[in-house]
Chain A
Amino acid sequence: MARECPAETEIYSGRQRSAAAAKCAFSRPRKTLRSFPALKLPLCLLLAALLLAPGLAKAHFLPPRSENIEAQKRAEERGIPVPTELEVFDRPNDDGSSVLLSFEVPTADEDTAVMAQASVDKVWQDCAEKPVLLSELPRHIDEPRYYSGEELSPEHAQQYSLTVDSVMLPGEDGALALQPLETGRTYSFRLMLYKNGGDPAAGRIAFLAGDAAPLEQWFNTAFLNQVLMALVFTMIMMGAIFAARQNPNLFIRRIAGLEAVDEAIGRATEMGRPVMQVNGLDPLTSASTVAAVNILGRIARRIASYDSTLMVPCVDPVVMTVSQETVKQAYAEAGRPDAYRSDSVFFVTDQQFSYVASVCGFMMRDRPAAIVYLGAFYAESLLLAETGAGTGAIQIAGTDSQHQLPFFVVSCDYTLIGEELYAASAYLSREPMLLGSLKGLDIAKAIVMLLILLGTIMATAGQDILTRWFTPL
């Protein structure tokens, strides 16, 4: 099938400009990368990805059809709008469950409705229970998960996109019911146009769209840029980690909140009071909770060696179970397995404000000398932090919930902002491989910042090639 890519000329010219700009952007840091030879390969890959990705995109659309002349005449006689650019094709990047009808209706009004029909055993069957208003249909550009940007010319992007994933077929009882399209089977499709909001009595006209089969895809090409970026990022990280193994004396900037952990545990030990850690409200599927449990392991190890006491009230039973194992193992590795108390990590409740009431009660009664809030927090952040501040405890908070950050900054002595939460485990351990991953992260961040700067300049100059590269292809 003939396919065209109208923006091809623009893409090639953009590619050349992108190459020149990228070369310019990366020429300066090359000198500083001499100490990280492993990073040269991922950076070259990133450059290649930037250059090649726009050209890898494919157009999905057939040229406009010139059929349905009879139907067009009848529609004009009966005052029913006529579709143009009508075509049907397998929906790209899906699981083989649907096809798409793509069309434009220049003369449509607000009461124009549409419905697809499929031919099954040479009988036309409805593909929906009732027609849908044209105003409620998405356009191609509204579905970036499947395609957008490079794959669509501006004309195609604005066309209507009618997804067809089922057809009316007789069931076991003989009654017609919607049943999914068979993957791989070729159907003929036509588009029914209605006026008066889809009232069949007001008349309807069918326009032949063509044949198509729903096909299963094994790779989402709209995510190609994400795969390439993920691979490049992984290689940068690995390169930095291997570089750190060869040169373990890496400089990591001082993070006051993490420097204060030792001070807080020492203070708790001197005062004979416990250290409390709150792991946030999210379950273990949240990255911030994983980071919090990682840090809990480091803190528990120090608490075990200082012979202090730990309290970890949990809101999620899975987090509780993992935290218990982490703390238990940390005590064992610190050489104090006997000091581990099984009730130091305990479940409170999974209700947000019941949890707050309970933890605030623990704070007021047990008076922990240090309170550490790590993970994801919501409306309970200020309730907890203010109560903790009222008890006079040293408070250290770390969260990626950016709306709660101001509350922690106000109420706590130290706050780890965003990424510092994820760096904490590496910072506290000082293990070269973990510190290397922080270096890799910094390099990746620098590259992203450069790309943002470059993209801003290019977009200001009217070139959106870099901008489009960071949207689904």
Chain B
Amino acid sequence: MVFLKRQFPVILAFVFGMLLWLQYYVPSKASNSMLESFSSSWLITLAGCALILGVFSAVFHHVEKVKARRAGFGYSLITLVCFGITFTCGFILPLIGRIAPGSGIEPIPTQPDTPFDWIFNNVQVPLDSTVFSLLAFFVASAAFRAFRARSMEATVLLLAACIMMLGRVAFGEMIGTQTLNLSDAAEWILNNPSTGAQRGILFGIYLSQVALALRIIFGIEKTYLGGGS
């Protein structure tokens, strides 16, 4: 049992980690088809099974909340009702349509006039846009907090932000001379200090990703199996 829970996953991680690492350097047909079978068959099958688990997890979570009458259980109730309606429109109705006498075997409909698509286009998409649009207000509140000149660094940040904000609008080109205006200054900040800093961060990230991969492949990092030691 300990072997299956602790050692076997480490062996699998080593074998498949090494296999996929070596695959990157081998351009042969066998190598490519192996990668394709991993990405198009195994991963999709795993993700499909996990999605069923996910749906059960979400429903179970909200049902528990409603049963226990925990704070905000009304929202869970609405979630469950919406889930039921969407599930019916997206899965049950097409299934009934497929097995109805005389309807013949047809693929699950994807036309834009199905109830499921109506829900997606008229409920899901506008709600998504609404949440996304809140970002503008959060950016303003975050900027207000960040751009207070409390220290030398914060002052530099404030100045850079002002140059960037003015430099990215048409008005910025009118401030300064023809050879050097705020738009050019903003471009310089983006192309030089900002890009330099980002590249530095990226180097660290890429090397760390390689290090993490090595730690997992060689079984040094086992926290994803739980605990660690």
- Seen from chain A, the residues whose Cβ lies within 8 Å of a Cβ on chain B are 93-97, 183, 216-220, 223, 226-227, 230, 233-234, 237-238, 241, 283, 285, 287, 290-291, 293-295, 297-298, 301, 314, 316-318, 320-322, 325-330, 332-334, 343, 346-354, 356-357, 361, 365-366, 379, 382-383, 385-386, 400, 402, 405, 407, 409-411, 417-419, 421-423, 425-426, 429, 431, 433-434, 437-438, 440-441, 444-445, 448
Contact = CB atoms under 8 A, between A and B. Distances in A.
Interface string B195-207: 0001001111101
A424 B72 CA distance: 34
Considering residues B51, B64, B221, which has the most beta carbons from chain A within 10 angstroms of its beta carbon?
A: B221
Nearest to A390: B141
Given A320-B57, A417-B201, A422-B212, A448 B227 contact: no
A434 B25 contact: no
- Residue of A314, A353, A407 contacting most chain B CB atoms (<10 Å): A353
The 4 closest A-B pairs by CB, nearest first: A329-B226, A317-B54, A333-B227, A419-B204
Nearest to A449: B203
Given A219-B25, A383-B135, A418-B204, A287 B57 contact: no
A326 B225 contact: yes
Contact of B204 (A293, A347, A445): A445
Contacts of B229: 333, 429, 431
Contacts of A328: 226
B138 A383 contact: yes
Contacts of A219: 25-27
A410 B146 contact: yes
A347 B27 contact: no
Contact of A382 (B139, B212, B224): B139
Contacts of B26: 218-220
Interface in B23-40: 24-29, 31-32
A233 B29 CA distance: 29
Contacts of B131: 353-354, 356-357, 383
24 contacts: A95-B28, A217-B27, A219-B26, A220-B25, A223-B25, A227-B25, A294-B223, A298-B223, A298-B228, A317-B57, A318-B47, A326-B224, A333-B227, A343-B61, A350-B54, A365-B71, A379-B135, A400-B205, A410-B145, A429-B228, A434-B220, A437-B220, A445-B203, A448-B207
Interface of B: 21, 24-29, 31-32, 43, 46-47, 50-55, 57-58, 60-61, 64, 71-72, 75, 124, 127-128, 131-132, 134-135, 138-139, 141-143, 145-146, 198, 201-205, 207-216, 218, 220-221, 223-229
Contacts of A383: 131, 134-135, 138
A408 to B, nearest CB: 10
Given A287-B213, A298-B223, A96 B29 contact: yes
B27 A93 contact: yes
A347 B58 contact: yes
A71 to B, nearest CB: 34
Contacts of B204: 418-419, 445
Contact of B224 (A96, A97, A293): A293
A441 B207 contact: yes
Contacts of A230: 21, 210
B132 A234 contact: no
A353 B125 CA distance: 10
A320 B50 CA distance: 8
Contacts of A325: 225-226
Contacts of A353: 127-128, 131-132
B53 A320 contact: yes
Contacts of B220: 241, 433-434, 437
A291 B212 CA distance: 8
A359 B198 CA distance: 29
Given A241-B220, A402-B202, A287 B29 contact: no
Nearest to A234: B214
B221 A434 contact: yes
Given A328-B226, A353-B128, A383-B138, 19 more contacts: A96-B29, A218-B26, A220-B27, A227-B25, A290-B212, A290-B224, A317-B47, A325-B225, A333-B227, A347-B61, A382-B135, A382-B142, A383-B131, A383-B135, A410-B142, A418-B205, A419-B208, A422-B209, A429-B228
A42 to B, nearest CB: 13
Nearest to B139: A382
